[in-house]
């Protein structure tokens, strides 16, 4: 395992991006098991990374609104159909 904390922090982004080799991951996680400082650091790093991966409006496909509008139309049609069925069954 890695003995020094700076070795671990060197590898963190490799680990998060899942590019690290098995041996690197093994050494990394065994260090985390014995070092709560690096564990905390790693968890914070993961949170930061996942927050930065959230899609922002600029990354949505250009026809996103159109597609969503279409989906909502279909859903409303389904709902109307069910409502009609209910009325028929009721009479
Ligand atoms: Zn450490």
For the stretch 40-68, pLDDT in tens is 999 998 888 877 766 665 666 677 777 77
**Confidence class of residue 71 from pLDDT cuts 50, 70 and 90?**
confident
Distance 5 CA to ligand 1 centre (A): 4
Distance 51 CA to ligand 1 centre (A): 24
Determine contact, residues 24/11, Cβ cutoff 8 Å: yes
Question: What count of other Cβ atoms lies within 10 Å of the Cβ of residue 10?
Answer: 13
pLDDT surpasses 70 at 77: yes
Instruction: Quote the pTM value.
Output: 0.56
Among the listed residues 2, 4, 28, the one whose alpha carbon sits nearest the alpha carbon of residue 15: 28
Distance 27 CA to ligand 1 centre (A): 11
Distance 75 CA to ligand 1 centre (A): 52
pLDDT surpasses 90 at 4: yes
Nearest 10 degrees: CA dihedral of 60, 56, 53, 75?
A: -50
The pLDDT assigned to 54 comes to 62
**Confidence class of residue 81 from pLDDT cuts 50, 70 and 90?**
confident
Distance 17 CA to ligand 1 centre (A): 20
Taking the C-alpha atoms of residue 35 and residue 40, their distance in angstroms, rounded to an integer, is 9
Output the six-digit token pair for 74. 């279909």
pLDDT surpasses 70 at 9: yes
Higher pLDDT, 6 or 60: 6
> What is the sign, positive or negative, of the torsion defined by CA atoms of 8, 9, 10, 12?
positive
């Amino acid at each position: 395992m890695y003995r020094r904390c700076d070795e671990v922090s060197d590898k963190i982004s490799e680990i998060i991006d899942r590019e690290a080799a098995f041996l690197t991951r093994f050494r990394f996680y065994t260090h985390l098991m014995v070092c709560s400082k690096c564990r905390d650091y790693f968890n914070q790093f993961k949170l930061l990374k996942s927050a930065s991966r959230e899609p922002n409006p600029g990354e949505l496909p250009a026809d996103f609104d159109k597609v969503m509008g279409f989906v909502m139309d279909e859903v409303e049609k389904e709902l109307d159909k069910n409502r009609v069925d209910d009325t028929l069954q009721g009479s």
